[in-house]
């Protein structure tokens, strides 16, 4: 559209009061034809989030996403307003803005922000999600199911998909849903998790003195006069920190969103929370529709024709399984899909009314340690516990086999889970690494991360993590390299080789198959890692190796000598 001087003034004065803005709007209305649709964006000049997103397809992907100003950082403000032309009741002035248009409307717009969004058809806007929802991410126990990946790090910090860590999934889902207050509960602290959290998210969620009060913080189990124990389970972990969560209630928190830290999926929690609020439920449980083959691996639920949950069954089989069939059309599945998937499994994702959570944990069930097996089933007996359908890709990656399979599946065509989504990116720590360097290699079905260097090698169905070094004549098949946290200079690498030592990365002529190579590991020349004997479980930690579910893992910082075979 054509900007008048009044427009320019308005654009520069993002802190103008709502009265002034309305006055400007009326003045502009007299000079512009009502037939002409317009969209106006005002933004202050402070830096918006840039170069945080790391897509491996292009080194510029982060920058492009940042510049769309969808989620501003600090005090930069974006205000979108769409005006439709004449025609019918439904094309009125506020017929067009969707929930996404209201993404970044700041409180400082005051009454005018409310005016833009007063249309009752709008879902709960994102600012409300910021004010009323606290995300609590359950980072898991000591991570025994993922050992040895959890030998030197907390479970949420385990690397995923070449660039990311497990914690990036729930945190990114929260950010994309407009939730900017999150705690991650973990059994023990790790430097890598704390470092990652502080570097990756603080500016995105509007943390710090000039921000919007957002935070992403790690809470580790700790001894206190009232509780000298480790976390005894998921519910106990939340109970031990309720005193801290209740402090957040003073800032307007009304619902707790309880999330698991070891799932791979993309979900808009704002819709989940909105359904919870609309239905008046005490607790809402996210439910995954599944077929008979998959159902027996989960805790299943039965619902009535309003979607209220009245029965639970943990991993049933045979007749007990068939007893748990439900009509999933109640939750919104179409009839054909409902026929194929007549079971609903709990995903371990819950929304609680704040007073309900506090009452259950402190008063009604003070000794219950687990949400899935104790709190939720008992609450369903006399409280309103609703199911919410999540009909998309979801994978529990809390075991070695499922973690390994889900990672390799990322490299398939088409992948079952896609990291590249311009509107809902998966955020991670900005590392500012150069693009991958691939010289004379044969590569098929692989994800190769930033800073990796591969030459004269063969890579098939593999994940190659950041800063990976892969030597000449190497074959990597059905494997995951987690990469490294730092580079070794070329001169250091040459001097290590001259001394008969092993530099970081995979040495020339080695074969890596059905293997996870953890961070900063050193594999010598002509080594063979493929579990030839087909061993299922073996603790070979003195050799720097561990075998679980038949998958070989090279431990973080381990050295595998030249010519080693397994």
**205 and 338 assigned to the same domain:** yes
DSSP conformation letters of 65-118: HHHT-SS--TT---B--EE--S-TGGGSTTSS--GGGGTT--GGGHHHHHHHT-
Asked if residue 101 is part of any domain, the answer here is no
Asked if residue 45 has pLDDT above 70, the reply is: no
According to DSSP, residue 42 is labeled B
Asked if residue 229 has pLDDT above 90, the reply is: no
**184 and 234 assigned to the same domain:** yes
- Residue 516 banded pLDDT, cuts 50, 70, 90: very high
**449 and 351 assigned to the same domain:** no
What is the distance between the alpha carbons of residues 389 and 543, in angstroms, rounded to a whole number?
47
Residues 339-367 have a mean pLDDT of 93
**399 and 443 assigned to the same domain:** no
The CA-atom distances, in angstroms, between 97 and each of 64, 66, 88, 148, 265 are 23, 21, 17, 49, 27
Asked if residue 96 has pLDDT above 50, the reply is: no
The domain that contains 331 carries what CATH number? 3.90.550.10
Structure confidence at residue 176 (pLDDT)? 95
Asked if residue 451 is part of any domain, the answer here is yes
Asked if residue 49 has pLDDT above 90, the reply is: no
Tens digit of pLDDT for each residue in 388-438?
Answer: 999 999 999 989 999 999 999 999 988 889 998 999 999 999 889 999 999
Structure confidence at residue 42 (pLDDT)? 41
- Residue 90 banded pLDDT, cuts 50, 70, 90: very low
Of 91-95, 243-247, 408-412, the poorest mean pLDDT is in: 91-95
As for how many domains the chain has, the answer is: 2
Of 192-196, 265-269, 337-341, 433-437, the poorest mean pLDDT is in: 192-196
Structure confidence at residue 22 (pLDDT)? 52
- Residue 137 banded pLDDT, cuts 50, 70, 90: very high
Structure confidence at residue 190 (pLDDT)? 72
Q: Is cis: bond before 251, omega within 30 of 0?
A: no
Asked if residue 47 is part of any domain, the answer here is no
- Residue 56 banded pLDDT, cuts 50, 70, 90: very low
Would you tell me how many other CB atoms lie within 10 Å of the CB of residue 193? Answer: 24
Asked if residue 95 is part of any domain, the answer here is no
Asked if residue 489 is part of any domain, the answer here is yes
Beta carbons within 8 Å of 160's beta carbon, 6+ residues apart: 166, 168, 169, 264, 397, 407
Of 275-279, 348-352, 416-420, the poorest mean pLDDT is in: 416-420
The domain that contains 509 carries what CATH number? 2.160.10.10
Asked if residue 277 is part of any domain, the answer here is yes
State the alpha helices, DSSP H only, in 117-267. 126-132, 168-176, 191-200, 234-240, 242-249
Residues 503-513 have a mean pLDDT of 98
Of 15-19, 93-97, 458-462, 546-550, the poorest mean pLDDT is in: 93-97
What is the distance between the alpha carbons of residues 97 and 40, in angstroms, rounded to a whole number?
12
Asked if residue 119 has pLDDT above 80, the reply is: no
Tens digit of pLDDT for each residue in 6-31?
Answer: 555 444 544 444 555 555 555 555 44
**279 and 174 assigned to the same domain:** yes
Structure confidence at residue 483 (pLDDT)? 97
**372 and 282 assigned to the same domain:** yes
Asked if residue 91 is part of any domain, the answer here is no
Asked if residue 439 is part of any domain, the answer here is yes
**300 and 378 assigned to the same domain:** yes
Structure confidence at residue 5 (pLDDT)? 54
Asked if residue 2 has pLDDT above 90, the reply is: no
**355 and 456 assigned to the same domain:** no
Tens digit of pLDDT for each residue in 299-348?
Answer: 999 999 999 999 999 888 899 999 999 998 999 999 999 999 999 999 99
- High-pLDDT (> 90) share of the chain, %: 56
Q: Which has more confidence, 458 or 15? A: 458
**265 and 346 assigned to the same domain:** yes
Phi, psi of 223 (to 5 degrees): -80, 140
Q: Which has more confidence, 383 or 212? A: 383
**303 and 178 assigned to the same domain:** yes
**401 and 436 assigned to the same domain:** no
Residue 97 tokens read as 């803005």
Of 75-79, 154-158, 252-256, the poorest mean pLDDT is in: 75-79
Asked if residue 386 has pLDDT above 80, the reply is: yes
Best CA proximity match to 501, nearest among 561, 564, 542, 454: 561
Q: 406, 440, 474: which is the final residue of a domain? A: 406
Asked if residue 69 has pLDDT above 90, the reply is: no
DSSP conformation letters of 503-528: -SEE-TT-EEESEEE-TT-EE-TT-E
**380 and 510 assigned to the same domain:** no
Phi, psi of 386 (to 5 degrees): -105, 155
Structure confidence at residue 109 (pLDDT)? 39
Q: 373, 406, 439: which is the final residue of a domain? A: 406
Identify the domain containing residue 164 by its residue range.
126-406
Asked if residue 443 has pLDDT above 70, the reply is: yes
């Amino acid at each position: 559209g054509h900007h008048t001087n009044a427009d320019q003034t308005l654009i520069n004065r993002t802190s103008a009061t709502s009265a002034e803005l309305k006055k400007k709007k009326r003045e502009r209305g007299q000079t512009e034809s009502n037939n002409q649709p317009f969209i106006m964006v005002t933004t202050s000049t402070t830096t918006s989030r840039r170069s945080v997103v790391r897509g491996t397809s292009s080194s510029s992907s982060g920058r492009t996403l940042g510049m769309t100003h969808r989620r501003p950082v600090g005090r930069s403000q974006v205000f979108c307003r769409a005006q439709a032309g004449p025609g019918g009741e439904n094309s009125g002035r506020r017929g067009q803005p969707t929930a996404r248009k209201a993404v970044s409307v700041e409180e400082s717009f005051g009454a005018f922000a409310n005016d833009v969004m007063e249309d009752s058809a709008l879902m709960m806007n994102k600012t409300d999600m910021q004010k009323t929802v606290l995300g609590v991410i359950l980072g898991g126990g000591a991570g025994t199911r993922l050992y040895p990946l959890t030998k030197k790090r907390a479970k949420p910090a385990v690397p995923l998909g070449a660039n990311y860590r497990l914690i990036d999934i729930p945190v990114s889902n929260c950010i994309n849903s407009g939730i900017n207050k999150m705690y991650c509960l973990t059994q023990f602290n790790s430097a890598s998790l704390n470092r990652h959290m502080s570097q990756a998210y603080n500016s995105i969620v509007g943390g710090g003195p000039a921000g919007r009060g957002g935070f992403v913080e790690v809470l580790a189990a700790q001894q206190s006069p009232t509780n000298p124990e480790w976390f005894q389970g998921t519910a106990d972990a939340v109970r031990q920190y309720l005193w801290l969560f209740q402090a957040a209630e003073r800032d307007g928190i009304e619902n707790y969103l309880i999330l698991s830290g070891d799932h791979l999926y993309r979900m808009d929690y704002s819709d989940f929370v909105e359904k919870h609020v609309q239905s008046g439920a005490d607790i809402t449980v996210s439910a995954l529709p599944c077929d008979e083959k998959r159902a027996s691996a989960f805790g299943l639920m039965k619902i009535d024709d309003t979607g209220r949950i009245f029965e639970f069954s943990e991993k049933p089989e045979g007749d007990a399984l068939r007893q748990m069939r439900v009509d999933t059309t109640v939750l919104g599945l179409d009839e054909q899909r409902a026929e194929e998937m007549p079971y609903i499994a709990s995903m371990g994702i819950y929304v609680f009314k704040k007073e309900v959570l506090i009452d259950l944990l402190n008063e009604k069930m003070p000794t219950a340690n687990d949400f899935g097996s104790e709190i939720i089933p008992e609450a369903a007996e006399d409280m309103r516990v609703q199911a919410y359908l999540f009909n998309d890709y979801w994978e529990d990656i809390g075991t070695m086999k499922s973690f390994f399979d889900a990672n390799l599946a990322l490299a398939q065509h088409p992948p079952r889970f896609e990291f590249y989504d311009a509107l809902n990116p998966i955020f991670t720590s900005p590392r500012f690494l150069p693009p991958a360097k691939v010289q004379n290699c044969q590569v098929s079905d692989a994800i190769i991360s930033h800073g990796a260097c591969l030459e004269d090698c063969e890579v098939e169905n593999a994940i190659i993590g950041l800063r990976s070094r892969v030597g000449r004549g190497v074959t990597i098949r059905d494997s995951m390299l987690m990469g490294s946290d730092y580079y070794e200079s070329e001169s250091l690498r040459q001097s290590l080789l001259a001394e008969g030592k092993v530099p970081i990365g995979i040495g020339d002529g080695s074969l890596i198959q059905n293997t996870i190579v953890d961070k900063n590991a050193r594999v010598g020349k002509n080594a063979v890692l493929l579990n030839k004997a087909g061993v299922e479980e073996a603790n070979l930690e003195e050799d720097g190796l561990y075998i679980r579910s038949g998958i070989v893992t090279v431990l973080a910082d381990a050295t595998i000598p030249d010519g080693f075979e397994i």
